[in-house]
Amino acid sequence: MKLDDFKASVVVPIYNNRETIGATIESITKQKNVTLEVIFVDDSSSDDSLDVLRHCLDTFTEGYSQLEFKLILHQDNCGLAAAYNSGIQACGHDIIVFMHPDITLESESEFWKLLKPFEMPDVVMSVHHSVPPPDDYWDKINIWSKGFLAPSLFTRAVGFNGQFDAVRKEALLSIGGFEVDKFLNAGEDGALVFQIQKLGKIYESEAAAQHCHHFSNSPNFVNYLEKALQYGNAQGALMRNGMFNNLRGEIIALHREVIVCCLLLSLFAPTWLTIWVSGLLLFSSARIPVRIFIHRPKEIALPVLLLPVEIIKHFVHFAGALVGALIGRQTIRKFSDFLKWNEGAKKSL
C-alpha cells in the first residue's frame, strides 16, 4: 500500500487537559497530505476540559474535509490504558496513532513522517522523536515543571510512549490492546512494546513532537514526587511480569532502584563501600540539576534546590517499584494509593 492511500485513526485520551488541548487540536488541523479520523476519549475529567475541547473543535476545525472527529465519554476515571482501549475499539482505519492532549508538532508534515514507515509491510509500529519545547516556555513554568522538562534538554529522545506514535490496528487487536488489568496510567507503553516487537519491526521515524504536559496546572513538590512514585511503580510491575528484553535493559530502566537497593545493603558492609555507593547516588541525582545549569547557568539557585529533591526522588522511585514488583500491577497515582498497596497485594494473591 502506498502512503497516499493511507488513512489513520488518532486516539487522544483526555483527563484535565484544558490548558493544552487547544494547541494539540491546532497542530492536528495543520497537518498536510493525510486523512485523519480523530477520536477524543474523555476519562471523566473533573475540570472543564470537555467544554474547552468542544470550543476548540468549533474554532479550529471548520472547513477541514480531511478530518473527522469523534468523542467518547467515560463516566468514571478508568486510567490511561482503558482510555486507549476505548479509542481503539472506535477506530475505523488500519493505522492507529496515539497522541497525548499536550503535544504540539514541529511542522505540518509530522503525521506524514510518522506514517511513511508503514509503506514497509514488516513495520508494525512507528515512533516519534521527542524534542524540547521552545526556550520561551522556560520562563513561563515553575521549578517543578522545569524539573520535568530537564531530561529532554539537549536530546531528541526516541521510543514508544504513546505521546505521538503509530501502530497497525491488526497488531493491536491480536494482543488484546493495552493491559488494563496490570497498568492503570503508567507502564502501559512498555508492556505494549514488549508484545508488539514480537510481531514485526518497530521503526524510528523522523516525526518530532514537543511535550508540554508539565506546563499545565503548575505542579508542586508533592506532584513531582508522586510522578516519581507512579513511574517507579510501573517499572516494578514491568519487572515482575518479565517485560524487559534483557538484564541490561532492566538495570537501565531501574537504575534509581538499583542504586537505592545497593545503598541500603551497603549499610551492612564496610564504610568505604557505603561512601562509594553514596557517591553513585549523588552522581545519578545530579543529572537533572546539571542539565538545568548548562541550559540556564544564571539560574544557579534552581539546580542547587533540586539536587536534594532528586536524591529523595530516588527513594520514592524505589518505594513505588517495590510495590509494583510485589503485586505485579501498576496501581499507584498518589501517595494515598501507596498507603493502600497491601489491598492490591491481597487481590493479586
> pLDDT tens string for the chain (349 positions)?
555 557 899 999 999 888 888 889 989 988 988 889 999 999 988 888 889 888 888 877 666 667 888 899 998 888 889 999 999 999 999 999 999 998 888 889 999 999 999 999 999 999 988 877 777 777 878 888 888 878 777 666 667 777 899 999 999 999 999 998 899 888 898 899 889 999 999 999 999 888 876 555 578 899 899 999 999 999 999 999 988 877 777 888 889 999 999 999 999 999 999 999 999 999 999 999 998 898 888 888 889 999 999 999 999 999 999 999 999 999 888 888 877 665 555 454 4
* 139 and 212 assigned to the same domain: yes
**Both 255 and 106 in a single domain?**
no
User: How many other C-beta atoms lie within 10 A of the C-beta of residue 18?
Assistant: 19
190 and 52 fall within a common domain: yes
Whole-number pLDDT of residue 349: 44
Q: Which domain holds residue 28?
A: 3-217
Of 187, 217, 247, which one is at a domain's C-terminal end?
217
118 and 242 in a common domain:
no
- The one-letter amino acid code at 267 reads L
Same domain, 211 and 295: no
Same domain for 226 and 199, yes or no, is no
Number of domains present in the structure of the chain = 2
| pTM of the predicted model as reported, rounded to 2 decimal places | 0.87
Confidence at residue 155, expressed as pLDDT on a 0 to 100 scale: 65
What CATH number does the domain containing 163 carry? 3.90.550.10
Of 167, 196, 217, the last residue of a domain is 217
For residue 308, give Cα distances in angstroms to 30, 145, 344: 43, 16, 31
From start to end of the chain, where are the E strands? 7-14, 35-42, 67-73, 95-99, 103-105, 123-131, 157-158, 164-168, 201-211
Contact 145, 218 (CB under 8 A): yes
Residues 205 and 80 in one domain: yes
Q: What's the confidence (pLDDT) of residue 6?
A: 74
Supply the pLDDT for residue 264.
Answer: 94
* 46 and 78 in a common domain: yes
| Phi/psi of residue 176, nearest 5 degrees | 85, 15
Decide which of 217, 251, 282 is a domain's last residue.
Answer: 217
Q: Is there a single domain that holds both residue 176 and residue 322?
A: no
210 shares its domain with 274: no
Q: Are residues 168 and 226 in the same domain?
A: no
pLDDT of residue 326: 92
CA dihedral 254, 257, 261, 262 (to 10 degrees): 60
- Whether the CB-CB separation of 333 and 230 falls below 8 Å is answered with yes
Domain shared by 148 and 234, yes or no? no
